[in-house]
């Protein structure tokens, strides 16, 4: 193993600077940059200038810095962090929550050219209109390499109509990718994604960082309602079940009150509504009519006048019939 004196000075300084960043910031986010272009990295660095430091280094130096910081700080999770650093990675140091950094990354979507010698995940279209390219040899590239319908106008090459050059799943040849890039076609989405995060001792893998929070909230709400329903059924009393249990007890008490030979004057309106509903059901059963809610039944157009004494007598008998 090389001694410290035999290690190039720039490597020592690089490891020192990474360790210093570990000491300065609470959170470290590992980004896989193998498929991220330099321009997008530079743009992201500027976007995060005041809230984070994006450090590009060789993996061997990153691992050495993590090992040294672990020895000096004794903090947890650093061994696991080192195991999860991919081959081409950037370390982002920040005091912001990793989920906030993810939100910032998601808001900075880049469109990039099709990759040569690869399978395209999306359809690739070349739009109708002026390409801005001068006439010359390039027109043969458009016609032969991409089979684009072209015409000459005002000394530039025009595409006659929107043309799909590749379907999703098609292979993109090197020459085809070069011509598409020359035309300025950028069909692919490029997002910087978090590979893993270390939050002051706790490891946050990408499946946690990118979980569907709305789906999790729905699952929690469903689980809560199911648990509450079960607790109400078995009669468990707590702050979440007391009100539903009281309402359930009230409903059951009313139902029982209609069945037992007890008259409660405060329940007179309830008795009348129940009697009217029972009468409606019996009438529908005998006459074969549909059952309508007493509240929705229309009042009769005419009402036969009867002696007041008979009305009082019938009303008395009707109420008394409820209690045998």
Q: Residue 213 and residue 157: Cα distance in Å, rounded?
A: 49
Could you tell me where in the chain the CATH 3.90.105.20 domains are found? 118-189
For the segment 14-51, what is each residue's pLDDT rounded down to a tens digit? 999 999 999 999 999 999 998 888 889 999 989 898 89
Architecture of the structural domain at 9-109+191-211 = 2-Layer Sandwich (3.30)
Architecture of the structural domain at 118-189 = Alpha-Beta Complex (3.90)
User: What is the model's pTM?
Assistant: 0.61
Cα angle value 318/320/324 (rounded, 5°): 115
Consecutive H or E run containing 90: strand 89-94
Mean pLDDT of the chain: 82
Could you tell me where in the chain the CATH 3.30.70.1730 domains are found? 9-109+191-211
Of 66, 71, 188, 70, residue with least CA distance to 118: 188
For the segment 74-102, what is each residue's pLDDT rounded down to a tens digit? 999 999 999 999 989 999 999 999 999 99
Categorize the per-residue pLDDT at 222 as very low, low, confident or very high, splitting at 50, 70 and 90: confident
């Amino acid at each position: 193993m090389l001694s410290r004196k035999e290690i190039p000075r720039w490597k020592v300084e690089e490891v020192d600077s990474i360790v210093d960043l570990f000491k300065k910031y609470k959170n470290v986010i590992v980004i896989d940059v193998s498929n991220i272009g330099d321009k997008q990295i530079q743009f992201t660095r500027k976007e995060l200038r005041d809230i984070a430091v994006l450090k590009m280094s060789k993996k061997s130096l990153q691992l050495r810095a993590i090992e040294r910081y672990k020895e000096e700080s004794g903090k947890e999770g650093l061994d696991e962090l080192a195991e999860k650093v991919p081959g081409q990675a950037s370390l982002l140091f920040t005091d912001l929550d990793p989920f906030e950094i993810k939100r910032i990354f998601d808001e900075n979507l880049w469109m990039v050219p099709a990759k040569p010698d690869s399978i395209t995940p999306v359809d690739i279209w070349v739009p109708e209109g002026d390409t801005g390219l001068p006439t010359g040899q390039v027109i043969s590239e458009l016609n032969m390499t991409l089979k684009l319908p072209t015409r000459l106008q005002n000394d530039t090459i025009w595409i006659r109509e929107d043309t799909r050059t590749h379907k999703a799943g098609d292979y993109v040849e090197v020459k085809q990718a070069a011509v598409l890039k020359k035309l300025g076609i950028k069909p692919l989405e490029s997002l910087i994604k978090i590979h893993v995060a270390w939050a002051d001792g706790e490891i946050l893998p990408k499946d946690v960082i990118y979980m569907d929070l709305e789906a999790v909230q729905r699952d929690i709400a469903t689980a809560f309602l199911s648990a509450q329903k079960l607790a109400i059924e078995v009669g468990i009393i707590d702050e979440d079940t007391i009100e539903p249990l009281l309402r359930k007890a009230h409903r059951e008490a009313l139902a029982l009150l209609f069945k037992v030979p007890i008259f409660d004057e405060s329940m007179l309106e309830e008795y009348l509504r129940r009697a009217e509903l029972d009468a409606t059901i019996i009438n529908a059963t005998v006459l074969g009519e549909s059952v309508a809610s007493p509240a929705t039944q229309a009042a009769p157009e005419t009402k036969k006048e009867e002696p007041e004494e008979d009305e009082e007598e019938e009303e008395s008998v009707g109420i008394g019939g409820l209690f045998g």
